[in-house]
A and B are shown apart, each in its own frame.
Chain A
Amino acid sequence: MANALTLDGVTKRFGKVTAVDRLSLAIPQGSIYGFLGQNGAGKTTTLRMVMSILYPDEGTIRVLGEGNAEAVKDRLGYLPEEKGLYKKMTAAEILTYFGRLKGLGASAAKGRARELLRRFGLEDWADEKCEALSKGMGQKVQILGTLIHDPELVILDEPFSGLDPVNVDVMRDVILQMKRDCRTVIFSTHVMEQAEKLCDAIFLIHRGRKLLDGPLSEIRAAGDHGIQLDYDGDGRFLAELPGVERVSDSGKHAEIFLAAGADPQDVLARLVGRLSVRRFDLREPSLHEIFVHAVGGENHE
């Protein structure tokens, strides 16, 4: 399948700081792609370059087969991390305006705005000014604004930040719906659980450089297998057990990685009696663990 987005040796510097360093990436059409990284890792800068809000100092970016992203701006939807609405415009007006800015005709934009508001249960609020909307409703309107022109590629910068659980589900459904419609979705996040549940593939960026990139299943398969342990009790002794290389302990849940040749059954035998074990399974590492491991390794260099 063709690539929706290709980056080749893209570098962006802000003065002496290199925000994005020789980044190459290919994102296939129809996939959900997660951009992962810590705050300040270069996610937003990369996304801004894709949207041609910033320009790379070096390298090339091809979006939807075009070398010039300006030319395809109308086929892209973008939800920045910092987002807002005009307070004095009504929800329907602002959606119509965004649609028109993306090249829709006046009546098409108006019709599409009404349709989206109806589909997302905001019919009754269509003619209310944005300042009268609740925070959640405002966020919905912002998301609809990125979808108004039915874009082929949607880029969402931290779409889940600040959403309550109900709206997280709304956002998730929107992303999944777009995938079903064969759209490409790229979203950035630093919450690994979200990416783990949604993404087909991920890209991990740290200090402007790519650490990992590829289908989620492959990345997880390549990682060390570990023990997923749910328990009650004091788990501080876990790291000292023989054969245990490292432990990521959350208090009720721990991920245990064993040294080469160690037997998981030994570990289990030593746990019994000291902890109340609710779940013990040997499986691929969580994305969280992969992330911490990758970033941690990088930091120690």
Chain B
Amino acid sequence: MNDKTILVARRELVENVRTKSFWIGIFFFPILISAAIVIPILVEKNKEARRYAVIDRSGWLLAAIEQTEGASLAASRFVREDVGGDSAAALDPEALLEDLNRRVGDQELFAYFVIGEDPVEGAGEFKYVSSNLTDDGLLRWFEGLASEVVRARRFAASDVDEEVAAWVQKPLRFTPRKVVKGGAEEDVETQDKVRQWAPAVFAYVLWFAVFMISQALLTNTIEEKANRIMEVLLSSVSPLQLMAGKIAGIAATGLAMLGSWVVFFYLATKLIPRAMGVEPSFDLSVIATDPVFIGSFLVYFLLGYLLFAALLVGVGSVCNSLKEAQNMQMPVTLVLMVPLFLLMPVAQDPNGTLARVASYVPPFTPFVMMNRAAGPPTTFEYVVTTALLVLSLGAALWAAAKVFRIGVLMTGKPPRLAEILKWLRAPVGQVPERRE
């Protein structure tokens, strides 16, 4: 890069930094991240203990439930209120139900249960009354405990040996274990689950950034053409210097934005939970400092951006208005949409056939490989896909330079694809024929 290219790049950067959309871009992501961290903490903190009541017509089930281990574990989440002693007979049953309905309706109680006369036989009325049937945590928890107690009774009633009963009831559990390189097993931690899904999030942010920044380049090129400033610039710099400067300047804008996002992501995951007095079950900030994630994120941003920048700067140079450009850039946009649709399938099966094949398609490589970071892909794949990407990047930049050189001085209707292909074959400085 020479001085003039740097001058052009610097001007692009300064002009972009002065725009509102740059600052919206800078702050949009941090606000999103903060919200994603703060809101769940707030919700968790403000979740009140569910107050509930039980009318136990069996006379024994409630007491038995309260003695289980599960009941004492959830004592802070679910708080039972007494309703005039355990024996329902102490009060007029109709009046009691009416009173409970009123209290549930007034939100004094979250819900109440009615236990029928003979739970072992299933005789009698069993019901759960609440004003909120979507949040069924309480119902599931109570049902689970009640079933456990009743099951034990049933075994006892049918003369099954207590040990046999326990054996029959014992569920089969699979312990999740993770195999690391070399075949050694490790316990699965929450962190590993985050690692599994973080690449998909990163790939999405990557896609978003590439899309946004390369669009900025396109708009900017067209504005320069519409402003008629192109030729003034071309009397001082060569088209190649101008193009390189524009691409570099907008890349710097994008990197500044992404850099701020990464720094913010680190600070937010580190500081916000602490500031709110919550000890996070795992430390998200380790991802922000993971060189594999952050390194490949920035490298893939740069490569992905450059590839699409080359395509869009070519499109921009032959268009005279944004409207024309919207039509012309359709094929590029369609290609760029594919990795977005691949996001979920690849995240679920990072080393599957689809993910592997897509990795070798240069326009998809940055997004798919980022998405596969949890796999992770083999070194061979990293090397070959990156080489392919760099090669096609070189070809795209070469073609863009040729189109740009001719396109920027052109007015009138945009050329057809066949014409552009002719430009690519023309030697430097020659302008092939065009029919108006």
Chain A positions near chain B (C-beta within 8 angstroms): 14-17, 48, 51, 53-55, 57, 70, 73-74, 76-80, 82-89, 97-98, 100-102, 142, 145
Contact = CB atoms under 8 A, between A and B. Distances in A.
B429 A55 contact: yes
A83 B229 contact: yes
Contact of B235 (A14, A51, A84): A51
A85 B227 contact: yes
Nearest to B408: A53
Nearest to B18: A88
Given A14-B431, A15-B433, A84-B227, A89 B15 contact: yes
Given A14-B433, A73-B236, A100-B7, 10 more contacts: A78-B231, A78-B235, A80-B235, A85-B229, A86-B15, A86-B229, A87-B227, A88-B18, A89-B15, A101-B236
Contact of A82 (B7, B15, B19, B231): B231
Chain A CB within 10 Å, residue with most, of B428, B430, B432: B430
A55 B181 CA distance: 60
Given A55-B429, A100-B7, A101-B4, A88 B15 contact: yes
Contact of B11 (A48, A54, A57, A97): A97
B232 A16 contact: no
Contact of A53 (B7, B228, B409, B411): B409
A63 to B, nearest CB: 12
Contacts of A77: 235
B322 interface: no
Contact of B236 (A83, A86, A102, A142): A102
Contact of A80 (B15, B231, B429): B231
B238 interface: yes
Nearest to B435: A15
Contacts of A53: 231, 234-235, 409
A122 B232 CA distance: 21
Nearest to B429: A55
Contacts, number: 72
Among B19, B227, B232, find the residue whose CB has the most chain A CB atoms closer than 10 A: B232
Interface in B214-238: 227-229, 231-238
17 contacts: A14-B434, A15-B431, A55-B429, A55-B430, A80-B231, A82-B231, A83-B229, A83-B232, A84-B232, A88-B15, A88-B18, A88-B19, A97-B7, A98-B236, A100-B7, A101-B4, A101-B8
A84 B228 contact: yes
Contacts of A98: 232, 236
A252 B18 CA distance: 57
B219 to A, nearest CB: 13
B418 to A, nearest CB: 14
A88 B224 CA distance: 12
Interface string B5-20: 0011001000100110
Interface in B391-436: 409, 411, 428-434
A74 to B, nearest CB: 8
Contacts of B231: 53, 78, 80, 82-83
B326 to A, nearest CB: 22
Contacts of A86: 15, 227, 229
Contacts of B433: 14-17
Nearest to B226: A84
Nearest to A100: B7
Given A70-B238, A98-B236, A83 B15 contact: no
A93 B109 CA distance: 69
A51 B433 CA distance: 22
B18 A83 contact: no
A101 B233 contact: yes
A98 B237 CA distance: 10
Nearest 3 Cβ contacts at the A-B interface? A15-B433, A55-B429, A78-B235
Contacts of A51: 234-235
Nearest to B239: A53
Contact of B229 (A48, A57, A84): A84
Interface string B230-266: 0111111110000000000000000000000000000
